[in-house]
Amino acid sequence: MLLTLDGNGPLYLQLHRAIEALVRGGHARPGERLPSTRDLADELHLSRNTVRAAYELLAADGVLARHRGSGHQVAAVLQTRAGTPAQPPAPPQSRYARRLRDAGPFVVGAALPAVRLNLKYGEPLTNPLLPDLWRRELARSAAYTPLGYPHSGGLLELRGEVAAYLERRRGIDVAPEDLLIVAGTQQALSLVSRVLIDEGAPAVIEDPGYFEMRWVLQTHGAQLVAVPVDRHGLQVDRLPERRPALVYVTPAHQFPLGVALAERRRAELLAYARRQQTWIIEDDYDGELAFDPPLRAPLYGADDADRVVHIGSFSKVLAPSLRLAYLVPPRALRDDFRAAKYLADLGCAAYDQAALATFLRTGGFQRHLRRVVRALRQRRDALVEGLRRHGRGHFRFDVPSAGMHLVAWRSNRSGLDLSRLAQVAAQAGVGVHLLDRRHYATPVASPRALLLGYGRLSPNEITLACRILGECIATLERDGERGPDESGSQ
Ligand SMILES: Cc1ncc(COP(=O)(O)O)c(C=O)c1O
């Protein structure tokens, strides 16, 4: 279930369409309560008036019913546009479907369709040559790739190139037969859950952490064990005494805080996995996008007890639309992962794999990566400079040494309401995103940090966005909308 605004027309109409599609698609049951206007406004970074207007319109259309004291619910009998009752959605047909409905709606990204300068995180678009390069590779691969089913574990030529890349760039020694090509980290995480999780099995996640992994585990029926993250990464001394089925970590560059797992904790985590006979799921997200080499070596390379599942993706270093990633299972689990991938989809699209293999083999990828890292460094510098100049002392942050976003914590002496800032900035054409309860497994009060992506905008655009942001802050200061003074410490 995705609540995604389509970017066409006024925001309240976009929201109206998104909710209507959700309800008519059977993803929300009759009688199901919708989030309050305040909660949904916070979640989507919209104003409450926008959400209110959308809800009222949906009520007028007979999609929602309003009940005094309990807010808006999905109408008991939906009317189609012609006025006849619509087909009610079937009850969930499996426990998995039940959990899908309970865990959603899955709101992806913050909805800021109208903004001109979107400091969105998680979207790399820094090499304008890439579409052309890729078109050429695809045309070539279409000419020689056999039409039959590809190997479900991945084309051997691509696995060979990925193995060579892992050795060169990440310092880990993997035989091509040992790794699997998968459809994004997301598929890797789904396979991990299938292979390792039974209903009720405890699974450790980082808090705050990658919500898409949390959702995957939740819908597979895992019992989530949220372990806090501080500036040295996962607090390994707070791992549970009872053996978890897995521990999911982003050690090279924690999502969303951007910190690296400290050396001592890495060793302790590996020792914990060995002692507990549990599995570490290492998401090497952003590991390659480091500005100040040497890169953090993956845990996989330091694991001498065969406990680490290593996952890397081409989403950040090339493009998320590619949907290609790799999974290196521990040897003891290799056959299970192979079989699970085979049954999931019989293998990833061969043309894309062949194109990527050539791109890696001929050095095009390496040139692209160098270019991306150079461009990202310039954009990061523009953001750091812009925030220092225009942040009006409201933020404190570490300069990112890797990746594509910066975490700007509200400073101790600032009483700025960050949700309000996000709304005002959106009205001024700048998209800023909150570190908020979507990132946390445990309840959090109001957001205390902004996640500012610098992958998509040019340095000049970033500078302009910071200037506008500074003006928005000044307006809030003038209007006295600083809220109560709260601690801004991590
Ligand atoms: C922590 C983390 N891992 C992995 C990914 C990439 O996922 P995928 O390979 O499915 O695109 C992301 C994307 O934002 C992420 O935040």
Q: What is the pLDDT of residue 78?
A: 67
Q: What is the pLDDT of residue 327?
A: 98
Q: Is 258 exposed, middle or buried (0-12, 13-18, 19+ CB in 10 A)?
A: buried
Q: Residues in the chain with pLDDT < 50?
A: 1, 110, 482-490
The amino acid at 359: F
- 243 CA distance to ligand 1 middle (Å): 26
67 phi/psi in degrees, rounded to 5: -120, 130
User: Candidates 213, 250, 255, 281: which one to mutate for ligand 1, based on the most atoms within 8 Å of Cβ?
Assistant: 255
Q: What is the pLDDT of residue 1?
A: 41
- 185 CA distance to ligand 1 middle (Å): 6
The amino acid at 119: L
Atom of ligand 1 nearest to the CA of 210: 1
- 315 CA distance to ligand 1 middle (Å): 7
Q: Is 347 in the pocket of ligand 1 (CB under 6 A)?
A: no
Can you say whether the dihedral through the CA atoms of 256, 16, 465, 409 is positive or negative?
negative
Q: Is 109 in the pocket of ligand 1 (CB under 6 A)?
A: no
Q: What is the pLDDT of residue 43?
A: 76
Q: Is 403 in the pocket of ligand 1 (CB under 6 A)?
A: no
Q: Is 250 in the pocket of ligand 1 (CB under 6 A)?
A: yes
Stated pTM of the model: 0.83
Instruction: For ligand 1, atom 7, name the residue with the nearest CA.
Output: 185
Q: What is the pLDDT of residue 489?
A: 34
Contact 15, 105 (CB under 8 A): no
Atom of ligand 1 nearest to the CA of 314: 9
Q: Is 185 in the pocket of ligand 1 (CB under 6 A)?
A: yes
Q: Is 415 in the pocket of ligand 1 (CB under 6 A)?
A: no
Instruction: For ligand 1, atom 15, name the residue with the nearest CA.
Output: 285
Atom of ligand 1 nearest to the CA of 315: 11
Q: How far is CA 202 from CA 195, 199, 217, 337, in A?
A: 14, 9, 10, 20
Q: Is 190 in the pocket of ligand 1 (CB under 6 A)?
A: no
Q: What is the pLDDT of residue 481?
A: 55
Q: CA torsion angle for 213, 215, 217, 221 (degrees, to 10)?
A: 180
Short-list 281, 327, 334, CA closest to 183: 327
Q: What is the pLDDT of residue 260?
A: 92
